Protein backbone atom coordinates (compact mmCIF):
# COMPACT_ATOMS: atom_id res chain seq x y z
CA UNK A 1 0.00 0.00 0.00
CA UNK A 2 1.28 3.46 -0.92
CA UNK A 3 1.83 5.72 2.06
CA UNK A 4 3.82 6.29 5.23
CA UNK A 5 5.71 3.53 7.00
CA UNK A 6 5.58 3.89 10.77
CA UNK A 7 8.52 2.82 12.91
CA UNK A 8 6.73 1.51 16.01
CA UNK A 9 9.93 1.61 18.09
CA UNK A 10 10.35 5.35 17.50
CA UNK A 11 6.68 6.36 17.48
CA UNK A 12 5.50 8.10 20.70
CA UNK A 13 1.80 8.02 19.71
CA UNK A 14 1.64 11.82 19.85
CA UNK A 15 -1.02 11.80 17.07
CA UNK A 16 0.48 14.76 15.22
CA UNK A 17 0.63 12.70 12.02
CA UNK A 18 -3.00 11.66 12.43
CA UNK A 19 -4.17 15.23 12.95
CA UNK A 20 -2.23 16.68 9.99
CA UNK A 21 -3.17 14.08 7.36
CA UNK A 22 -5.35 15.83 4.72
CA UNK A 23 -6.88 12.56 3.56
CA UNK A 24 -7.44 11.14 7.05
CA UNK A 25 -5.80 7.85 6.19
CA UNK A 26 -4.02 7.54 9.55
CA UNK A 27 -5.58 6.53 12.84
CA UNK A 28 -4.48 5.66 16.36
CA UNK A 29 -5.81 2.19 17.11
CA UNK A 30 -4.74 -0.33 19.76
CA UNK A 31 -1.76 1.80 20.76
CA UNK A 32 -0.30 2.13 17.29
CA UNK A 33 -0.61 4.41 14.25
CA UNK A 34 -2.13 2.51 11.33
CA UNK A 35 -3.25 3.24 7.79
CA UNK A 36 -7.01 2.80 7.71
CA UNK A 37 -7.76 3.49 4.05
CA UNK A 38 -6.25 4.08 0.61
CA UNK A 39 -5.86 7.57 -0.80
CA UNK A 40 -2.46 8.80 0.40
CA UNK A 41 -1.32 11.65 -1.87
CA UNK A 42 2.29 11.44 -0.64
CA UNK A 43 2.24 15.02 0.65
CA UNK A 44 4.63 13.95 3.48
CA UNK A 45 2.94 16.27 6.00
CA UNK A 46 3.04 13.44 8.53
CA UNK A 47 6.79 13.11 8.02
CA UNK A 48 7.26 16.86 8.42
CA UNK A 49 5.55 17.04 11.84
CA UNK A 50 7.26 13.97 13.32
CA UNK A 51 10.32 15.10 15.28
CA UNK A 52 11.12 11.53 16.32
CA UNK A 53 11.89 10.31 12.75
CA UNK A 54 9.28 7.60 13.09
CA UNK A 55 7.90 8.03 9.55
CA UNK A 56 9.40 7.28 6.17
CA UNK A 57 8.21 6.65 2.60
CA UNK A 58 9.52 4.20 0.04
CA UNK A 59 8.17 6.42 -2.74
CA UNK A 60 9.74 9.71 -1.61
CA UNK A 61 13.24 11.15 -1.25
CA UNK A 62 14.89 14.34 -0.06
CA UNK A 63 15.75 16.82 -2.83
CA UNK A 64 19.52 16.84 -3.34
CA UNK A 65 21.27 20.07 -4.28
CA UNK A 66 24.93 20.54 -5.10
CA UNK A 67 25.23 22.54 -1.86
CA UNK A 68 23.58 19.84 0.27
CA UNK A 69 20.15 19.38 1.81
CA UNK A 70 17.95 22.35 2.64
CA UNK A 71 17.26 23.39 6.22
CA UNK A 72 14.01 24.28 7.94
CA UNK A 73 14.01 28.07 8.29
CA UNK A 74 11.50 29.74 10.59
CA UNK A 75 11.27 33.41 11.55
CA UNK A 76 14.67 34.21 10.03
CA UNK A 77 13.72 35.82 6.71
CA UNK A 78 11.96 39.15 6.85
CA UNK A 79 9.00 39.96 4.54
CA UNK A 80 10.91 43.01 3.27
CA UNK A 81 13.77 40.78 2.09
CA UNK A 82 11.44 38.37 0.29
CA UNK A 83 9.49 41.15 -1.44
CA UNK A 84 12.68 42.96 -2.42
CA UNK A 85 14.12 39.80 -3.92
CA UNK A 86 10.94 39.02 -5.89
CA UNK A 87 10.74 42.65 -7.04
CA UNK A 88 14.34 42.63 -8.26
CA UNK A 89 13.79 39.70 -10.64
CA UNK A 90 13.35 40.87 -14.22
CA UNK A 91 12.72 39.12 -17.53
CA UNK A 92 16.10 39.13 -19.26
CA UNK A 93 16.33 39.55 -23.03
CA UNK A 94 20.07 40.02 -23.42
CA UNK A 95 22.32 37.13 -22.49
CA UNK A 96 26.05 36.56 -22.40
CA UNK A 97 27.48 33.64 -24.34
CA UNK A 98 28.71 31.97 -21.11
CA UNK A 99 27.41 28.43 -20.70
CA UNK A 100 25.44 27.24 -17.67
CA UNK A 101 26.95 24.31 -15.80
CA UNK A 102 25.15 20.98 -15.59
CA UNK A 103 25.44 21.15 -11.81
CA UNK A 104 23.49 24.43 -11.70
CA UNK A 105 20.86 23.05 -14.06
CA UNK A 106 20.33 20.04 -11.79
CA UNK A 107 19.88 22.42 -8.85
CA UNK A 108 17.30 24.44 -10.80
CA UNK A 109 15.25 21.34 -11.63
CA UNK A 110 15.41 20.22 -8.00
CA UNK A 111 14.11 23.67 -7.01
CA UNK A 112 11.28 23.34 -9.53
CA UNK A 113 9.89 20.19 -7.95
CA UNK A 114 9.65 21.93 -4.57
CA UNK A 115 6.70 23.90 -5.96
CA UNK A 116 3.19 23.16 -4.73
CA UNK A 117 0.96 21.00 -6.89
CA UNK A 118 -2.78 20.36 -6.68
CA UNK A 119 -3.49 17.11 -4.76
CA UNK A 120 0.30 16.75 -4.68
CA UNK A 121 0.22 15.21 -8.17
CA UNK A 122 3.75 16.39 -9.13
CA UNK A 123 3.28 15.24 -12.72
CA UNK A 124 5.66 17.84 -14.17
CA UNK A 125 8.43 16.82 -16.56
CA UNK A 126 11.39 18.81 -17.88
CA UNK A 127 13.51 19.11 -21.00
CA UNK A 128 16.82 20.97 -20.73
CA UNK A 129 18.49 22.20 -23.91
CA UNK A 130 21.98 23.31 -22.92
CA UNK A 131 24.26 24.85 -25.54
CA UNK A 132 23.78 27.75 -27.90
CA UNK A 133 23.93 25.60 -31.04
CA UNK A 134 21.17 23.34 -29.72
CA UNK A 135 19.06 26.37 -28.81
CA UNK A 136 19.50 27.74 -32.34
CA UNK A 137 18.32 24.41 -33.79
CA UNK A 138 15.08 24.72 -31.80
CA UNK A 139 14.74 28.36 -32.87
CA UNK A 140 15.12 27.29 -36.51
CA UNK A 141 12.37 24.68 -36.16
CA UNK A 142 10.05 27.26 -34.60
CA UNK A 143 10.93 29.80 -37.29
CA UNK A 144 10.01 27.32 -40.03
CA UNK A 145 6.71 26.61 -38.26
CA UNK A 146 5.82 30.31 -38.30
CA UNK A 147 6.87 30.71 -41.92
CA UNK A 148 4.30 28.06 -42.86
CA UNK A 149 1.69 29.57 -40.54
CA UNK A 150 2.16 33.07 -41.94
CA UNK A 151 1.92 31.72 -45.48
CA UNK A 152 -1.53 30.41 -44.65
CA UNK A 153 -2.60 33.45 -42.62
CA UNK A 154 -1.67 36.06 -45.24
CA UNK A 155 -3.77 34.35 -47.91
CA UNK A 156 -7.46 35.40 -47.50
CA UNK A 157 -8.76 32.24 -49.19
CA UNK A 158 -6.63 29.90 -47.06
CA UNK A 159 -7.61 31.81 -43.93
CA UNK A 160 -11.28 31.08 -44.43
CA UNK A 161 -10.78 27.55 -45.73
CA UNK A 162 -8.81 26.82 -42.56
CA UNK A 163 -11.98 27.41 -40.53
CA UNK A 164 -13.14 23.98 -41.67
CA UNK A 165 -10.38 22.16 -39.77
CA UNK A 166 -9.05 24.78 -37.32
CA UNK A 167 -12.08 26.85 -36.43
CA UNK A 168 -11.24 30.53 -36.03
CA UNK A 169 -7.68 29.95 -34.79
CA UNK A 170 -6.03 31.21 -38.00
CA UNK A 171 -8.35 34.24 -38.15
CA UNK A 172 -7.47 35.17 -34.58
CA UNK A 173 -3.80 34.59 -35.27
CA UNK A 174 -3.92 36.84 -38.33
CA UNK A 175 -5.58 39.60 -36.33
CA UNK A 176 -3.42 39.41 -33.21
CA UNK A 177 -0.04 37.92 -34.13
CA UNK A 178 0.62 37.91 -37.87
CA UNK A 179 2.29 41.32 -38.15
CA UNK A 180 4.57 40.91 -35.14
CA UNK A 181 5.63 37.44 -36.29
CA UNK A 182 6.27 38.77 -39.81
CA UNK A 183 8.55 41.44 -38.34
CA UNK A 184 10.31 38.83 -36.23
CA UNK A 185 10.92 36.61 -39.27
CA UNK A 186 12.39 39.57 -41.16
CA UNK A 187 14.70 40.38 -38.25
CA UNK A 188 15.73 36.72 -38.08
CA UNK A 189 17.10 37.06 -41.62
CA UNK A 190 19.41 39.76 -40.22
CA UNK A 191 20.71 37.35 -37.60
CA UNK A 192 18.60 38.72 -34.75
CA UNK A 193 17.39 36.19 -32.17
CA UNK A 194 14.10 37.73 -31.14
CA UNK A 195 12.77 34.44 -29.81
CA UNK A 196 15.39 33.29 -27.30
CA UNK A 197 17.39 36.54 -27.08
CA UNK A 198 20.79 34.87 -27.35
CA UNK A 199 20.20 32.53 -24.41
CA UNK A 200 22.61 29.57 -24.18
CA UNK A 201 20.07 27.35 -22.43
CA UNK A 202 16.35 26.54 -22.56
CA UNK A 203 14.26 24.75 -19.92
CA UNK A 204 10.87 23.37 -20.97
CA UNK A 205 8.26 22.43 -18.37
CA UNK A 206 5.55 20.04 -19.54
CA UNK A 207 3.23 17.32 -18.30
CA UNK A 208 0.26 15.20 -19.20
CA UNK A 209 -3.13 16.73 -18.44
CA UNK A 210 -4.00 14.29 -15.67
CA UNK A 211 -4.36 15.48 -12.10
CA UNK A 212 -6.29 18.38 -10.63
CA UNK A 213 -4.55 21.49 -12.03
CA UNK A 214 -1.66 20.47 -14.30
CA UNK A 215 -1.28 23.86 -16.01
CA UNK A 216 -0.96 25.75 -12.73
CA UNK A 217 1.39 23.10 -11.34
CA UNK A 218 3.70 23.54 -14.32
CA UNK A 219 3.67 27.32 -13.96
CA UNK A 220 4.53 27.11 -10.26
CA UNK A 221 7.48 24.84 -11.05
CA UNK A 222 8.69 27.17 -13.80
CA UNK A 223 8.55 30.22 -11.56
CA UNK A 224 10.56 28.41 -8.89
CA UNK A 225 13.25 28.01 -11.54
CA UNK A 226 13.04 31.71 -12.41
CA UNK A 227 13.43 32.80 -8.78
CA UNK A 228 16.25 30.42 -7.88
CA UNK A 229 18.07 31.26 -11.13
CA UNK A 230 17.87 34.92 -10.12
CA UNK A 231 19.48 34.08 -6.77
CA UNK A 232 22.35 32.44 -8.68
CA UNK A 233 23.03 35.50 -10.83
CA UNK A 234 21.24 33.98 -13.82
CA UNK A 235 18.46 35.56 -15.86
CA UNK A 236 15.32 34.01 -17.30
CA UNK A 237 12.54 34.92 -19.68
CA UNK A 238 9.26 33.10 -20.26
CA UNK A 239 8.94 32.57 -24.04
CA UNK A 240 5.21 32.40 -24.75
CA UNK A 241 5.58 32.04 -28.52
CA UNK A 242 7.73 28.95 -28.00
CA UNK A 243 5.19 27.37 -25.62
CA UNK A 244 2.33 28.01 -28.04
CA UNK A 245 4.33 26.63 -30.96
CA UNK A 246 5.31 23.41 -29.21
CA UNK A 247 1.68 22.79 -28.26
CA UNK A 248 0.72 23.06 -31.93
CA UNK A 249 3.74 21.53 -33.69
CA UNK A 250 3.83 17.86 -32.74
CA UNK A 251 6.83 17.20 -34.98
CA UNK A 252 8.95 19.58 -32.90
CA UNK A 253 7.63 18.06 -29.67
CA UNK A 254 8.66 14.64 -30.94
CA UNK A 255 12.20 15.90 -31.59
CA UNK A 256 12.32 17.05 -27.97
CA UNK A 257 11.03 13.66 -26.72
CA UNK A 258 7.84 15.26 -25.41
CA UNK A 259 4.82 13.00 -25.72
CA UNK A 260 2.17 14.19 -28.16
CA UNK A 261 -0.57 14.33 -25.52
CA UNK A 262 1.60 16.31 -23.09
CA UNK A 263 1.09 20.06 -22.79
CA UNK A 264 3.99 22.50 -22.59
CA UNK A 265 3.35 24.88 -19.70
CA UNK A 266 6.46 27.05 -19.90
CA UNK A 267 9.58 27.59 -21.99
CA UNK A 268 12.30 29.47 -20.12
CA UNK A 269 15.27 31.12 -21.78
CA UNK A 270 18.15 30.92 -19.30
CA UNK A 271 21.64 32.35 -19.07
CA UNK A 272 23.84 35.02 -17.55
CA UNK A 273 22.41 38.52 -18.12
CA UNK A 274 24.30 40.88 -20.38
CA UNK A 275 22.60 43.84 -18.72
CA UNK A 276 22.46 45.32 -15.23
CA UNK A 277 19.27 46.78 -13.78
CA UNK A 278 19.85 49.60 -11.29
CA UNK A 279 16.22 50.09 -10.22
CA UNK A 280 13.28 47.84 -9.50
CA UNK A 281 10.38 47.77 -11.94
CA UNK A 282 7.24 49.89 -11.95
CA UNK A 283 3.77 48.35 -12.10
CA UNK A 284 0.38 49.22 -13.55
CA UNK A 285 -2.45 50.11 -11.24
CA UNK A 286 -4.71 47.19 -10.34
CA UNK A 287 -8.18 46.49 -9.04
CA UNK A 288 -8.92 44.75 -5.78
CA UNK A 289 -12.13 44.26 -3.84
CA UNK A 290 -12.17 43.27 -0.16
CA UNK A 291 -15.49 41.60 0.60
Which CATH number fits the domain that encloses residue 139?
3.40.109.10
Same domain, 205 and 249: yes
* Residue 162: per-residue pLDDT: 83
Q: How confident is the model at residue 134 (pLDDT cuts 50, 70, 90)?
A: very high
* Residue 181: per-residue pLDDT: 86
Residue 68 inside a domain? The answer is: no
Percent of the chain with pLDDT over 70: 100
pLDDT tens readout for residues 220-242? 999 999 999 999 999 999 999 99
Same domain, 229 and 93: yes
Of the candidate ranges 117-121, 181-185, 194-198, the one whose mean pLDDT is the lowest: 181-185
Number of residues that make up the chain: 291
Same domain, 123 and 45: no
What's the rounded mean pLDDT across residues 254-267? 97
What's the rounded mean pLDDT across residues 39-45? 95
Which CATH number fits the domain that encloses residue 51?
3.30.70.20
With a cut of 80, say whether residue 164 has pLDDT above it: no
Same domain, 230 and 105: yes
Mean pLDDT of the chain: 93
Same domain, 102 and 244: yes
Q: Which residue has the higher pLDDT, 176 or 261?
A: 261
Residue 81 inside a domain? The answer is: no
What's the rounded mean pLDDT across residues 26-39? 94
Residue 76 inside a domain? The answer is: no
Domain that residue 139 falls in: 88-291
Count of domains for the chain: 2
With a cut of 80, say whether residue 76 has pLDDT above it: yes
In 3D space, the residue among 94, 219, 202, 222 whose CA is nearest the CA of residue 141 turns out to be 202
Amino acid sequence: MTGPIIDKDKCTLCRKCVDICPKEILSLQNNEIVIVQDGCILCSHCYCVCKFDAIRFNELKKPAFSFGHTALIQDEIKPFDIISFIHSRRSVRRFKADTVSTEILHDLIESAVLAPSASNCQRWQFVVINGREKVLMLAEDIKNFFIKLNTIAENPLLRYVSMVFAGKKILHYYKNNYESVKLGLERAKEGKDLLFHGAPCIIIVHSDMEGSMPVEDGQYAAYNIALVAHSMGLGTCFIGYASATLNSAHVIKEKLHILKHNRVHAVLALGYPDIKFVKNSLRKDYEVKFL
